[in-house]
Structures are given as structure tokens and as C-alpha cells.
Chain A
Amino acid sequence: MSDEIILTGDEKDCLQELMNISYGSATAAISKIIDRFATLSIPAIKTISAEDLTKHLLLKLKDNKTFFISNQLINGSLSGQNLFIIDSLSAKNLANEFGLDENEQNQEDIEDIVLEITNILSSTASSKLATLLNTKIGFSSPTINYINSKKDFDCDFECNYESIIVISTNLQFENQNINAELVFMKHKKSFEYLKQQLNEFLDEY
């Protein structure tokens, strides 16, 4: 029933490079703000169904991990949702990077820091992408959920997104075991707009 979102090879290349550039801005921002070196891996671009995304997220629950998912809504022509997914241990280490030592960390503080990173990464990367594509976007305040078991999982993506373009990357900090995933989800309409803008960009080059 869902019409597949398809990116051509060229469009995928283009998006990948644009995301790469956007991530550069995002990690530079982190570096300036907390004075720590971070890298975002080369983005892997997939178009999948909302169901598959849910499966992918639930897969993280194995191996006993608990994790945080924070999300930020994007408004405007590239509307959608950005997810930041980080396991509890990485989140604790991340809090360390932010200067919170072990005994100062409670769940609220950790959640706050995860939200902050989400804000920085998601908004910087998205804005940069928007600038590159000559368009404007706005952001909502990021919200956060602690996931302990299947029950905690509120999968409302399935209603809002038929197909999702998932641009995932791993965030890594030097000297620290911090692994996190950034996932960009786009609505079908903004996806069509995205394709359009990518092609305009490709035409310039």
C-alpha cells in the first residue's frame, strides 16, 4: 500500500555528501561547546518502512541494554523527526564528557545532557542541510524517553510515516566508549521536496 520512496544513485550520493557536510558542522559545534573531539561516521542512507525502523530500534533492546531515545520535530519544507538513540552506558560516559562526574549524575542530569546533544546535533545538521538546499526549517523542543523494555516503546512512527528515509550515523568520542545513533526521518511530502532540491543541487554541478 505504501509507495516506496526511492532515491536514485545520484540523489543518494548527493544526499550523502550533503549530510556529511552537515555533520561536519555539527561535530564542530560540539567541539566548540564542550571542548571535546567527536566524529560522526559517514551516513548510511536507507529507505525503510516504519515497521522496519521499529524492529531496528527494538533490536537494540537485546543484550540487556537500556537506552534513551530523544526526538526532535522538524518543521518546514523538510519536516520530519530526528531521533537520537544512545544506550545508558554511553549516556553516562557522555555526561562525563560534559563535566558531570560520576556522583553528580542522576537520571535527570543524564537526560538533560542527552537532550542537549540531540539539540546540538539535530539542529545543526538539519540547519546546515537546509542551508545547502536553500530552504528554511524550524525545530521543536526535543523530548526524551527511557527505554527499558518493549512496553516503554511508543511507536507512533507507524502512523505518521509510511516510508522513512533513514540517515543514520554513529557518534563517537575520542577516548570514550560512547556510541550513539542519529536517525533522520522525513515525511513523504518533505521527501518529495528533498528529491526536488537534491536534483536542483545536482544540476548546478
Chain B
Amino acid sequence: MKYLVIDDSKMARRMTIKSLQNIISQEFEVFEATNGQEAVELYNTHQPDLCFMDLTMPIMNGFEATQAICDADEHANIVVVSADIQEHAIEKAKNAGAIGFIKKPVNEDNLKTMLEKLDLLS
């Protein structure tokens, strides 16, 4: 399995990756991007199975990146991860193509719930 973690905060990426490591027993590959633009590039190169996308980033934000990736690949799996949990932010993310939303901080519990919900926990 390949995962793409997008967040301008190193700590945030670390938290998502560590939680993944704790939940998933099999080996997997993780790619990291620090802004929306990098995210789009890395997605094109590696075609990850699941993306974790932060919303507030410089250069290209999470909404735009989600939109860009989903426009190019309608089967893209993007879960938005954000501290900003206002209703309309969630709406906007959905409209851009996101398939799920995790409220920060990412931990084993909420990550596991999301993976089970998406049926990506094999």
C-alpha cells in the first residue's frame, strides 16, 4: 500500500505516519508533501492508494490540491485532515472530492475508524 501525507507541519505529518505505523501491520510506503503543489506532483508520480491532506498550506491549499487531484483521477482517495473543523470547511472539502475528514490531532483511534469506514484496513 502507498500513502501520501500532505501537511506543511513536520509534526503533523509525523503524527499521521506514526499512527499509520501503529495500526497497520503490513509494510507500506509513505510519501510526504509540504504543500498542495508538491502533493499534486507526488500523486502523479506515485499514484498512492490513500492521501491525507491538510487544508491550510502555502502555495496551494488543501482544497485546491484535492480538487486538482480528483479532477485528474476520479478514483483518488483523499481524506482531509485538519484543525479547522467548521461545518462549511467540511462541506467545501467534500465538494472538492474528499472522501473523509479527520479532526486533528490524528491518533490511532480516529485513524483506525476512518480506515475501517473506507474499508481500507485489510
Is A197 on the interface with B (CB-CB < 8 A)?
A: no
Is A193 on the interface with B (CB-CB < 8 A)?
A: no
Query: Given contacts A24-B104, A132-B105, are A17 and B85 in contact (CB under 8 A)?
Result: no
Stretch at the interface among B8-16, B25-33, B37-45, B93-101: B8-16
Is B84 on the interface with A (CB-CB < 8 A)?
A: yes
B9 and A39 contact, CB distance less than 8 A: no
Contact with A along B1-25 (1 / 0, CB 8 A): 0000000111110110010000000
B11 and A14 contact, CB distance less than 8 A: yes
Is B122 on the interface with A (CB-CB < 8 A)?
A: no
B15 and A20 contact, CB distance less than 8 A: no
Q: Is the interface of A mostly helix, strand, loop or mixed?
A: helix
A-B Cβ contacts below 8 A, count: 48
B86 and A27 contact, CB distance less than 8 A: yes
Enumerate chain B residues within 8 angstroms of A18, measured Cβ to Cβ: 11, 105
Contact with B along A11-50 (1 / 0, CB 8 A): 0011011101111110110010000010100100000000
In Å, the complex CA distance between A22 and B83 comes to 8
Residues of A within 8 A of B (CB): 10, 13-14, 16-18, 20-25, 27-28, 31, 37, 39, 42, 132, 204-205
5 contacts between A and B (CB under 8 A): A17-B15, A22-B83, A24-B104, A42-B8, A205-B18
